[in-house]
Structure formats: structure tokens, C-alpha cells
Amino acid sequence: MKVSKAQAAENREGIVDAAARLYREKGLEGVGVAEITRDAGLTHGGLYRHFASKDALAREACLRAFDWTITPLEGLDAADADGDPAARLRALVHSYLSANHRDHPGDGCPAAALATDAARAGPEMSEVFAQGVERNIQRFMEVVQGDDASKRAQTIVALSSMVGALALARATAAGNPALSEEILATLRAQLAPLGGG
């Protein structure tokens, strides 16, 4: 049965979206083609009509995963967020370093979920990952106060700290939940001064 161009495009998008989520949940080596296509509602044979290889899919899925943004400010009144950059930054830090984000890697930050995998996957994946990290830096800089050079430095310190904290919190959550919570709470407190309090 012939598939229309529109349906083929929709199928391709479904595969990329499924892969982006599953890779964040299980790692680049923790999920196979069959699971990705099944999650997208397709057969695994169809994947290779859209992608030259599993690596090509992984690179595109990683880039798609970086469409996730740390800028939605859960629990912060929009009026407060617009009027107070410090409140926006604090809310962003608290949202990122939350138990909810820790417990749902498939819906969260690809940097915290895939950094080690990306480092091992070779230069092409590293390039894609670097593009995504740079996009996150640019987004985060929008809520950091100061001149451009200091904003970039503060952003890199904050993002690196948050990614590391989230990775450690995830790694310790099952074995020592109290330590996991302590890591998140400590980093929230340490990074709050960046937002003015």
C-alpha cells in the first residue's frame, strides 16, 4: 500500500519524536530500532525508508530532543516572570532541579540524559550535541542578568552545575532517595543567588 507524502512525513516525525524520548529514557544503546518504531506505531522495516542508518536517526533524535526547553516556568505567575528576571531565573533553576524532572528523563533535558552517551558516540554525534548545548546556553542567557561575557560565563556555570546535579540525582534516586533529594536541594540553594536571592 502506497503511503502519501504527508503520511510519510508524519511517520518520520513520529519516529524522531519516539526516538528522542526513548533515547533520553534509556540511553543511545539502551533502545533498539524495533522499540522506537513500535512506539511510533510503525514496523521497524519502515525506519530505513526514512533514515540511512540507526546512527542517522540517533543524531536527528538528539537534535530534536534539544527542542525541549528549560524556559517554561512551571508554577510561576506570568506577570511575575515578565517583570522580574531574578524570579524567572529562580523558577527556571527550581523547575530544572525538581523531582519531577529527575523522575521523567524522557520528557526532560537531553544534556543530563545523554551527555555520556554522546561523548562515546563519535564526532558526528558530538557535533549535534554541541549544537543543542549551545542552543540551551543561548536560551538560558535570556534570563541571566549582566553584560554578555558575564552572562555567558554565569550561564555555563549554572547549566553545567544543573546538568551534573540532575545526573547525580538520577543515579542515586533508587539507591539513596534522601541523597538524591539533598543533591537537588543543595544545588537549588547554591544557584538561587544567581537570580538575586
Residues 143-171 pLDDT 10s: 887 788 888 999 999 999 999 999 999 99
d(CA 85, CA 157): 18
pTM: 0.85
5-53 and 78-195: same fold? no
- Confirm if 162 and 97 have CB atoms less than 8 A apart: yes
Q: What percent of the chain has pLDDT over 70?
A: 89
Q: Where are the domains of the chain?
A: 5-53, 78-195
The fold of the 78-195 domain, in CATH, is Tetracycline Repressor; domain 2 (1.10.357)
Q: Which pLDDT tens digit goes with each residue over 106-130?
A: 999 999 999 999 999 999 999 999 9
Which CATH entry fits the domain spanning 5-53: 2.60.40, 1.10.287, 1.20.950, 1.10.10? 1.10.10
Task: Give residue-wise pLDDT tens across range 53-89.
Answer: 889 999 999 999 998 876 554 444 444 455 577 788 8
Residue 103 to residue 173: CA distance in whole angstroms: 9
Residue range 175-182: mean pLDDT, rounded: 98
